[in-house]
Amino acid sequence: MESVLCSIWQVDVRNLVVSKLYICRDYHVQPSEIDKMVYFEYEYIWEEIKKEQKEQEKRQKEDEKKYGQPKMPNYNQMMNNVGKSMPSLPKFSIPKI
């Protein structure tokens, strides 16, 4: 019985570190600020971030359906199209002296 009660309060450290990384990277929050938070406050913030990401993905999919193409083209696709859109130089011979 005691082990079941203790399992409620266990935190997956790997999950915690990955979550902190995403918060720091995407929202420019210092890790020390996250460490100062009470754990339940951190959990609420993480839940709101996940909810916001889902809403953003939903809006992006709706825009893709509406306009027929993604808003931001992939960088690799842009670089592949660069060479195709440039005209080729005409061939000419150098005059002989």
DSSP 11-23: --HHHHHHHHHHH
How buried is residue 78: exposed, middle or buried, by Cβ count under 10 Å (0-12/13-18/19+)? Answer: exposed
Tell me how far CA of residue 94 lies from CA of 89, 91, 97, in angstroms: 15, 10, 10
pLDDT along the chain (97 residues), means of 10: 69 83 87 86 87 92 80 59 58 74
Q: Where do the domains of the chain lie? A: 12-70
Q: What pLDDT score was predicted for residue 94? A: 76
Q: What pLDDT score was predicted for residue 91? A: 73
Q: What pLDDT score was predicted for residue 57? A: 92
Query: What's this model's pTM, rounded to 2 decimal places?
Result: 0.52
Half-sphere exposure in the Cβ direction for 14 (13 Å, CA): 0
